[in-house]
Amino acid sequence: MTYPRSGALVATLALLGASLVHCSSAAPPDTTPDGAPDDAAAPSDPATSSDTGKTGTHDTGATGDTGTTHDTGATSEAAATLRGCGTEPTGVDASVAEINMCFPDHDGINGGSYTFDLTVDDTGFSKTILSTQNDATVTLTLKNTGTKPHGFVVECTNVTPAYPTVPAGCPDLACFPSNAFIAPLNPGESKTITFDTPTPDQLNYPFSSSDPSDCAVPGLNGANNALQWVLM
């Protein structure tokens, strides 16, 4: 279902394209949460490469509205196209005030910093559940300990489970920003990325490997919600 757009919100929520990844293989979900602030997130390995150099230690302070542009990860279902495994996602920019009008925070808590050390091999990821606040800064290091290339991508999700009535002109899909993506790494390689989580909270965003050949691997394709990024 799509929604009409008008005024400034049309311009700021301009569609840059996103989609849902769907793979056919299934794996039973691991419901044990990982990635709670501090105690479940290990520091990044200094030997790995880093895009930003941020430390990502946990900060419990919540963020406020600044009026600056913010990559919210929200996009329209009308423009969404099916994204196959291994395709890099894109984000969308809008002001904090405008996106908060569409997606008010449920628990009154957002922001903070989180660090994850994640490994991937030929059968799966070392963590199946990653949990953070919305509008948080995340530093994630992925190391490939397998014998084949593997990567990392967070998929889009529909906002209606947390926002049953989406205001007119607001998007009905939410996506992580385009820099929350790691292209397939060769065996033994690692990479660190830093990005902000989307604004829409109380939603689960599936993640998977970004290598197309991993679509057939149950522990890497995120089928049946086996791999989830939970925004609290």
Instruction: List the CATH number of the domain containing 130.
Output: 2.60.40.420
Within a domain: 115: yes
- Does any domain span residue 110? yes
Mean pLDDT throughout 210-232? 93
117 domain-assigned: yes
Residue 217 inside a domain? The answer is yes
Per the domain annotation, does 113 fall within a domain?
yes
Give, as one character, the DSSP assignment of residue 43. Answer: P
Phi-psi region of 98 (alpha: psi -120 to 50; beta: other; left: phi over 0): alpha
3-state secondary structure of 212: helix
Q: How many structural domains compose the chain?
A: 1
In a domain, 89, yes or no: yes
Helix (H, G, I), strand (E, B) or coil at 52: coil
Tens digit of each residue's pLDDT (9 = 90 or more) over 62-93? 443 333 334 445 543 333 333 445 555 544 44
Q: Rounded distance, CA 167 to CA 170, Å? A: 6
1 within some domain = no
**pLDDT of res. 85:** 57
Instruction: Evaluate if residue 184 carries a pLDDT over 50.
Output: yes
Is residue 20, in this structure, part of any structural domain at all?
yes
Residue 143: which domain range?
7-231
Place of tokens 């099916």: 82
Higher-pLDDT residue of 43, 121: 121
Q: What percent of the chain has pLDDT over 90?
A: 51
Q: How confident is the model at residue 88, as a pLDDT?
A: 57
Q: Is 99 helix (H, G, I), strand (E, B) or coil?
A: helix
